[in-house]
Structure 1
Amino acid sequence: MELTSQNPDTAETFADKLLGFTLPGRNARGRAVRLDRVLDEVLSAHDYPAPIAHLLGEALVLGALMGGLLKGEQGQLTMQAQTTSGAVSLLVCDYRAGEMRGYAEFDPDELEGLGANPTLGALFGEGFLAITFETGGGKRYQGIVPLEGDTLAQACESYFMQSEQVPTLIRFASRKGGAGALAGGLLVQHLAEGEEGRERLHVRQDHPDWEHVAALAGTLGHDELLDPRLSMEAIAWRLFHEEEEIRIQPGAELSRGCRCSPAHYDAIIARFPAEERDAMRDDSGRIIVDCAFCSKQFELGI
């Protein structure tokens, strides 16, 4: 068995940094991540109750895992879950070049009646999940699927299977302790061989290579994902050490990255006609903008 890295001098990956890997012999790729400080910083913007903090933590981990599939520094992933019938009306997070942000809107009274560990269906009712990939070349593509399954991770697995026909397995774990929140996740996918005239592997959920990879990845425990002493490289090694080769690809450093600023909002509001801008002003003639991501207010100079 061989473990190779694009940069052998890179330190091991523990928290707030992505790790990518491929299994060439199985036509599979993976991403692994553990969120620590970044998760605390995003959650600190609002006083979220435990079920919402757990849900947003899962969304951020998934956003990092899926955003890490993008190539280059200009790509962006946006994930949005929405409904009109559940306790959670909106959940959104995005990822761009390692910068992450997210927030959730919910009804506190309705949430209180759902218990300590509500399922995805209980939180959203009948909702949908929209995942948008934007590349640095200006290309944008989006898939929308029903919010099905007990968890957001299961809904994302359905997205990849229905919208991209890519068999995908995702594992997620989180906990809230005295030292703060911690969450981790693993994503593995089976890739098409793609050669002219050959069967495309991604249309075969039962391909023996994928069944083998999924079975191994499925043994990953919550305690391993959340163990701060266990690196992402060590997790990949534990799962796939019997394979001929694991190619390690160190990923982006992660940070909380809200792009709000007075200049940013000035540029947006300036696009509106003068009469519409006047309608936005308060009694003092000011335009005040609230950023839901970071829970800050901005007075615009426009």
Structure 2
Amino acid sequence: MTMSEIDRVQGFTIPSRHVRGRVARLGPVLDEVLSAHAYPPAIERLLAEALMLAALLGTTLKDDAGQMTLQAQTEAGVVSLLVADYKAGAVRGYVQFDADRLAEMGSDPSLFGLFGKGYLAITFDQAASAGAEATRYQGIVPLEGESLGKAAEYYFSQSEQIPSFVQIDVRHGPNGGCIAGGVLIQHLPEGEVGRERLHVRHDHPEWEHVQALASTVKSDELTNPELGLSDIVWRLFHEEEEVRVNDDHVLTRGCRCDLTHIRDVLGRFPADERTDMADEAGNINVDCAFCSRIFPVSLASLTQ
């Protein structure tokens, strides 16, 4: 693998079309996340797609102190909960699912087969900055479409009125590792005084042109680590008047488990409640779903 072209997100803009985009690829970081769980192949693909989507959306945040969280949930589906998030270049995620029901579905279940009638929630937490308070905004839409990427397109269309194109592909590499590639393209309002906003117009010729070009991207381009991310942008949009390549982000595995923080949280509980939490050995075992690790914390250490 060409390591400079993997575990990265490359941003770009097409000024004349009022378009911004991201193209990304995950490899070793993806394997590191998946190796902590030993999920079946169908769940691995689902989480890989979610982590890629988190990387594409999270890198649109203005600073590293913000966080983007993706959550897909249902009450009656095979998958009861899927969570992935992005913060400061780090991605993490996990899935809760019914293994027995999954085994009955075959090797390639559909998104509807996994979730049934579920919903997708996308939350952006913007950190406080000079002169501005921290803000949170969230959109929740039905989990519809053939993939999480298409569900995200629906989210931006309904919740943000931003026409978007998302494609994510996942495959196993020649050495057995998992590779995910993705592209996100969005048509933003011009926002000029006196100009109508994009979402109230009935035709979007600029967007339709860019969307048609973006839809020509191939799975083997997105998941080929030998092909540069900027080369994908060039292949898609080289006939445009100007394409600006910017916002290069390196991706890492992120699990924010910290024993000091865990002790601090447990220390806020009354002593009798901490005693109820503890096992026979006098330890409170804190389970991190993101990294599949259990952190034992002794009652004695909390007292000290």
TM-score (norm 2): 0.93
Q: Are residues 1:74 and 2:65 paired?
A: yes
Secondary structure of the residue aligned to 1:245 is: coil
> Which residue, out of 85, 92, 109, partners 2:83?
92
Q: Deviations over 1:264-283 (max 9, x none)?
A: 21122222222222221111
Correspondence 1:14-163 to 2 at 5 A: 14-137=5-128, 138-163=134-159
Q: Which moved more, 1:160-169 or 1:249-258?
A: 249-258
Residues 205 and 75 of structure 1, relative CA distance in 2, 3 Å threshold: farther
Contact 1:167 1:205 in 2 (8 A): no
Q: Per-residue deviation at 1:192? A: 0.2
- Give the partner amino acid of 1:170: V
Q: Per-residue deviation at 1:131? A: 0.7
- Give the partner amino acid of 2:283: R
Take 2:181 and 2:5, find their aligned partners in 1: how far apart are those partners? 10
Q: Per-residue deviation at 1:116? A: 1.3
- Give the partner amino acid of 1:292: A
1:281 maps to what in 2? 278
Secondary structure of the residue aligned to 1:239 is: helix
Q: Are residues 1:224 and 2:215 paired?
A: no
Contact 1:262 1:299 in 2 (8 A): no
Residues 233 and 109 of structure 1, relative CA distance in 2, 3 Å threshold: same
Secondary structure of the residue aligned to 2:180 is: strand
Secondary structure of the residue aligned to 2:283 is: coil
Take 2:203 and 2:90, find their aligned partners in 1: how far apart are those partners? 36
Residues 38 and 209 of structure 1, relative CA distance in 2, 3 Å threshold: same
Residues 166 and 205 of structure 1, relative CA distance in 2, 3 Å threshold: farther
Alpha-carbon RMSD across the aligned residues, in angstroms, is 1.5
Q: Are residues 1:212 and 2:209 paired?
A: yes
Secondary structure of the residue aligned to 2:120 is: strand
- Percent identity over the alignment is 56
Take 1:275 and 1:176, find their aligned partners in 2: how far apart are those partners? 50
Q: Are residues 1:241 and 2:242 paired?
A: no
2:176 maps to what in 1? 179
Contact 1:68 1:251 in 2 (8 A): no
Q: Which moved more, 1:131-140 or 1:268-277?
A: 268-277
Contact 1:191 1:202 in 2 (8 A): no
Structure 2, unpaired ranges of 5+: 129-133
Q: Are residues 1:194 and 2:187 paired?
A: no
- Give the partner amino acid of 2:253: R
Q: Per-residue deviation at 1:197? A: 1.6
Take 2:237 and 2:4, find their aligned partners in 1: how far apart are those partners? 17
Q: Per-residue deviation at 1:152? A: 0.8
> Which residue, out of 150, 163, 166, partners 1:167?
163
1:3 maps to what in 2? none
Residues 12 and 105 of structure 1, relative CA distance in 2, 3 Å threshold: closer
Residues 280 and 33 of structure 1, relative CA distance in 2, 3 Å threshold: same
Contact 1:15 1:36 in 2 (8 A): yes
Contact 1:147 1:155 in 2 (8 A): yes
1:257 maps to what in 2? 254
- Give the partner amino acid of 1:175: R
Q: Per-residue deviation at 1:176? A: 1.7
Structure 1, unpaired ranges of 5+: 1-10
Take 1:172 and 1:253, find their aligned partners in 2: how far apart are those partners? 18
- Give the partner amino acid of 1:284: A
Contact 1:16 1:38 in 2 (8 A): yes
Q: Per-residue deviation at 1:203? A: 4.0
Q: Which moved more, 1:57-66 or 1:139-148?
A: 139-148
Contact 1:183 1:226 in 2 (8 A): yes
Q: Are residues 1:297 and 2:277 paired?
A: no
Contact 1:63 1:79 in 2 (8 A): yes
Q: Per-residue deviation at 1:251? A: 2.2
Take 1:245 and 1:154, find their aligned partners in 2: how far apart are those partners? 28
Question: How many residues were matched structurally?
Answer: 292
